[in-house]
Amino acid sequence: MLNFLSSLKLFFALCLALAAVFVWQTMISRGQPPYGSWWFAALGALLAANITACAVRRRRAASSAFLLIHAGIVTVILGSFASRYLRFEGSMPLRTGAESAFVYAGDSVHKLPFKVRLEEFRLEYYREPRGSLTVTDRDGRREFAAAPGAEIQAGGARIKVLRLLRDFGLPAKGEALDKSPYWHNPAAQLEIAAGGKTSRLWFFANFPGMHRSELPFSISYGLAGAEIKNFTSSVLITPDDGHGYKGEISVNRPLKVKGYTLYQTSYDPADAGYSLLTAARDQGLWGVYAGFAVLLAGILLWLRE
C-alpha cells in the first residue's frame, strides 16, 4: 500500500487530473465550479497522502530541505481544505443612516460581534462624463455638445438645451430633479422650435428612441465617459465590547474587524444610498499561510545546500 501511495506514477496522474480540472473550469466551463465537490476533495486528499507517503518512505535518507518542502505542500493542501469548509461568508445590505449587526447566508442569519452603520455611499468616475446631442434628418447625421443654454440649428428647427440632469427623478408633484449626484439616469430637457410650434421635451440617454413620432427629425441624447472607477462605503463600526470608530470599505480595500473582513460587493443604481457589503471569516487561512512558510523555509534550505 505504501509503495502505491508513494509512487511517482500516482503523483503525476493526480497532477494531470487536477490540471485538467483547472483548465476546464477556467477556459471551457461556465457552470458551477467543482471545487466544493466530493471528488475534487478526494483528488486533493489523495495528492496529500501521496506526498506524505513519499516523505515517510524516504525519511531516513532524505535531507531536512526535502522533508520541509513536502511538509509545506501537504500543509498548504490541508489548509486549503480547512479554508474551504470553515469559511463563513454572508451579505449585509445597508442604506445610508441604517445600522445592522446581521449578515445573511442563504436561509440563515448570522449575528456579528459588532454593528455597522452606513454613513455615506459614493461613486467615483474616471472623469466627468460628456453629454452630446445627435440629430438625424434629410441632411444627414450631426452631433453637438450638450451644455445648458447652448443653441443649435438642425433639421429646420431651433434647439436649445434648458437643463441637464445626472439622475432624472420626477416627484409626485413638482419639477424634475436629480435623485442623486451620480449618472444613473442622464436626461436633457430641450426646447424645440419647429413649424411655428415650440415644445419642451425630455430626452434620456438610457432610452434613445423617445419622441420620434412627434418631430420631423430624430434627436437623441448620449453620454460618454461615465465609466465607474470605484465605489466606497463610509461606515461607523461599533464593537459589542468597545467604542465606535469610522472606516471606509471600497472595491479593492476591505476592512478587517474582529476577525471578519468586510468587502464592498455591489450597489443599486436605482437607490443612491444603498450599499451591499460582504462579511467573511476564514479560520482555515492560517493553515495555508503556515504551509507556504514551511515550504519557503525548505526551498531556502535546499538552496543553501
**127-149 pLDDT, tens digit each:** 888 899 888 877 788 888 888 98
Q: Is the pLDDT of residue 235 over 90?
A: yes
User: What is the domain partition of the chain in residue ranges?
Assistant: 2-87+284-304, 90-125+228-281, 130-224
Read off the pLDDT of each residue in 163-182 and give the average, rounded to a whole number: 87
How distant, in Å, are the alpha carbons of 135, 171, 229 from that of 223? 15, 24, 16
Spatial separation of the C-alpha atoms in residues 110 and 148, rounded to whole Å: 50
pLDDT for position 266 = 92
What are the respective helix, strand and coil percentages of the chain, to the nearest 5? 30, 45, 25
Structural Rg of the chain based on CA atoms: 30
Helix (H, G, I), strand (E, B) or coil at 235: strand
pLDDT band with cut points at 50, 70 and 90 for residue 197: confident
Confidence of residue 35 (pLDDT cuts 50, 70, 90): confident
Give CA–CA dist 243/52, Å, rounded: 48
35: cell is: 471545487
Q: How far apart are CA 65 and CA 231, in angstroms?
A: 46
CA 48 to chain centre: 33
Angle (deg, nearest 10), helices 64-86 and 38-57: 160
pLDDT at 100: 94
What three-state secondary structure class fits 227? coil
Question: What confidence score (pLDDT) does residue 302 get?
Answer: 85
64-68, 163-167, 209-213: least confidently modelled range: 209-213
**Res. 283 pLDDT band, cuts 50 70 90:** confident
pTM above threshold 0.85? no
Query: Residue 250 — pLDDT band, cuts 50, 70, 90?
Result: very high
Q: Which CATH architecture has domain 90-125+228-281?
A: Sandwich (2.60)
Lowest mean pLDDT among 27-31, 40-44, 125-129, 300-304: 27-31
Overall average pLDDT of the 284-303 stretch: 87
* 3-state SS class at 65: helix
Residue 2 has pLDDT above 70, yes or no: no
